[in-house]
Copies of this chain bind each other. A is one copy, B any other.
Amino acid sequence: MPKNEKYIDIDFAKLDIERVKRRGASEAVFCECKTDEQLIKIFSEFKKHGQNVIGTRVSSHQAKILTKEFKELKYNESAGVVTLVKKQIPLVGEIAVCTGGTGDIPVAEEACETAEFYGSNVKRYYDIGVAGIHRLFSKIEEIRKANVIIAVAGMEGALAGIITGMVDSPVIAVPTSVGYGSSFKGLSSLLTMLNSCAEGMTVVNIDNGFNAGYSASQINRKIVGE
Contacts and interface: CB of A to CB of B under 8 A. Distances in A.
Contacts of A58: none
A192 B152 CA distance: 15
Contact of A38 (B2, B16, B102, B183): B102
A195 B183 contact: yes
Contacts of A133: 2, 162, 165-166
Interface stretch (A45-53, A65-73, A167-175): A167-175
A5 interface: yes
Nearest to A140: B1
Contact of A188 (B4, B147, B192, B203): B192
Contact of A181 (B172, B183, B206): B206
B105 A198 contact: no
A101 B197 contact: yes
A156 B195 contact: yes
Contact of A130 (B158, B218, B225): B158
Given A7-B135, A158-B162, A205 B198 contact: no
For the complex of A and B, the 3 pairs showing the least CB-CB separation, nearest first, are A181-B206, A33-B103, A202-B202
Interface of A: 1-5, 7, 11-14, 16, 19, 22-25, 28, 30, 32-34, 38, 57, 100-103, 105, 126-135, 137-138, 140, 147, 155-158, 161-162, 165-170, 172, 175, 177-208, 210-211, 214-215, 218-219, 222-223, 225
5 contacts: A130-B158, A132-B165, A155-B197, A156-B195, A180-B206
